[in-house]
Structure 1
Amino acid sequence: MLYFSKQEDYAIVLVTRLAKNYNKKLISLSEIAKEYNISPLFLRNIANLLGRNGVIKAKEGKNGGYFLDKNPKELKVGEVLGIFEKRPMLDCCSLAHVKKKTKCSREKVCEVSKVWKKMNAEFMEKISSVTFYDFIKNQ
């Protein structure tokens, strides 16, 4: 099962939305929150984290808003996801440990664990080559 947290998912949404307006106009978080039906406070927390990591910036004031601080042709999806939790995103197991983010007690005896780990590494390699420009180039 492929799993992204809400925070990771909304971070991708936010960065993609800002990538669409790269070098054009500033966008307010309230506009994005309304457009995607996301809690403004939750989105602000994500924006703060992305800002602390040099992905986006904000300009305060009447005509303020947020903008992407990196070129979307160079900003990789894996880079943004890496700001959040460092955990596998592909997992065949739906046991409680996955949601609790603890180590699986069956990992050493699990027949498919090594295959899933290899697939996760391949997925992370692939997602680290996808840019935010790839999301918006055909729009």
Structure 2
Amino acid sequence: MVFFSKTCEYALRAVLYIASKSQNGQRVGIKEIAENINSPEHFLSKILQKLSRKGIILSAEGPNGGFYIDTNGQNRPLADIIIVLQGDDLFTGCGMGLSYCSESNPCPLHNEFKEIRKQIKHMLHITSIGAFNAELLNGTLTLNK
């Protein structure tokens, strides 16, 4: 079952990569990010532009430019990334994609999916963007398939 769109998958990987590099004061370019998260550069560029416009990540131009995340951004929840790119359907939508599914008119998966949705929502709201920096920097975790 797919929970995140391809856009959100790339965004999550990119933001976590940028966050880990930003911890040491680095700014990273689009080419480096794309190579390290196994993402098409052109597609990733559009995603990062949108995240930058919404303040999830920051960017600077020039020879020392690139993408970075400040301390406030490091503390933001992962849910912010999903909401900017995919809306809140992940937290409210039907597991079968039915528009009429509700408490009063449930689909066959409604009750079970409601619990899964609740757990995912909780995890994405309590986990910060910077939560994985140490593990990413020391190679315990990876962002490249």
Whether TM-score is above 0.5 comes out as yes
How many angstroms does 1:68 deviate by?
1.1
Once structures 1 and 2 are overlaid, which stretch shifts more, 37-46 or 109-118? 109-118
Cα distance in 2, alignment partners of residues 57 and 73 from structure 1: 11
* TM-score, scaled to structure 2: 0.75
Q: Is the 8 A contact 1:51 1:57 kept in 2?
A: yes
How many angstroms does 1:66 deviate by?
0.9
CA RMSD for the aligned pairs? 2.6
Instruction: Tell me the equivalent position of 1:36.
Output: 37
Q: 1:127 and 2:124 equivalent?
A: yes
Q: Is the 8 A contact 1:56 1:68 kept in 2?
A: yes
Instruction: Tell me the equivalent position of 1:11.
Output: 11
Q: Which structure's residues are more often helix, by fraction? A: 2
* Seq. identity, %: 23
How many angstroms does 1:54 deviate by?
0.6
Q: Deviations over 1:9-55 (max 9, x none)?
A: 11111111111122511100111112223111111111111111111
Q: Deviations over 1:37-87 (max 9, x none)?
A: 311111111111111111111111222211114445512111111112221
Q: Is the 8 A contact 1:2 1:91 kept in 2?
A: no
Instruction: Tell me the equivalent position of 1:50.
Output: 51
Cα distance in 2, alignment partners of residues 56 and 72 from structure 1: 7
How many angstroms does 1:135 deviate by?
1.9
Cα distance in 2, alignment partners of residues 137 and 37 from structure 1: 20
* TM-score, scaled to structure 1: 0.78
Runs of 4+ in 1 over 3 A off after TM superposition: 69-73, 89-93, 104-107
Gap change, CA 1:67 and 1:115, over 3 Å in 2: same
Q: 1:65 and 2:62 equivalent?
A: no
Alignment gaps of 5+ in structure 1: none
Alignment gaps of 5+ in structure 2: 139-145
